């Protein structure tokens, strides 16, 4: 399926498109792009979670929680149960960090992500708006 922000017909937003009974398009909202070529620390986490953490430089970091999403890395799509983005300050070194925690549906999706993490330009899309 192609990824695009939205389809509008007569001023109304279309969220799904079918050909017969086959779903051919559904609306995804672009949330975040992370350039993995930056200094990013990736930890496997426990269970089905993975955390990406980098030192915060500048502004423009989105925070919040998104559910039911997908990651696109180098053209490969991996489904994600949820993503949480937060900014925090480490009391030990007084530096500010940006942390994104991803929760996967199963270990296969998590392993696929961990094996793809060296690619540049990780993009996260969600079906749900930020909570």
Burial 89-105 (b: 16+ CB within 10 A, else e): eeeeeeeeebbbbbbbe
Task: Write out the residue range of the structural domain in which residue 116 sits.
Answer: 29-127
Higher pLDDT, 126 or 60: 126
Instruction: Indicate whether 2 belongs to any domain.
Output: no
Does the global pTM surpass 0.85? Answer: no
The answer as to whether 89 is a domain residue is yes
Contact 38, 44 (CB under 8 A): no
Residue 22 lies in a domain: no
Q: Quick one: average pLDDT of 112-116?
A: 78
Number of domains present in the structure of the chain? 1
Give the max Cα distance, the chain: 58
Model confidence at 123, pLDDT cuts 50, 70, 90, reads confident
For the cut 80, the answer to whether the pLDDT of residue 19 exceeds it is yes
Compute the mean pLDDT over every residue in the chain, rounded to the nearest whole number: 76
Residue 6 lies in a domain: no
Lowest mean pLDDT, pick from 24-28, 39-43, 75-79, 96-100: 39-43
5 is a domain residue = no
122-126 and 64-73: which strand pairing? antiparallel
Residues in contact with 37: Cβ distance below 8 Å, sequence separation at least 6, in sequence order: 120
């Amino acid at each position: 399926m192609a990824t695009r922000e939205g389809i509008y017909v007569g001023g109304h937003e279309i969220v799904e498109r079918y050909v017969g009974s086959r779903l051919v398009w559904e609306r995804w909202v672009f949330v975040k792009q992370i350039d993995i070529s930056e200094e990013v620390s990736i930890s496997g986490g426990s269970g089905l979670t993975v955390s990406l953490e980098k030192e915060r430089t500048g502004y423009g970091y989105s925070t919040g929680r998104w559910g039911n999403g997908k990651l696109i890395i180098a053209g490969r799509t991996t489904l994600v149960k949820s993503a949480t983005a937060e900014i925090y300050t480490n009391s030990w070194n007084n530096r500010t960090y940006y942390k994104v925690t991803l929760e996967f549906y199963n270990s296969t999706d998590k392993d696929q992500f961990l094996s793809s993490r060296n690619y540049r330009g990780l993009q996260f899309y969600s079906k749900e708006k930020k909570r």
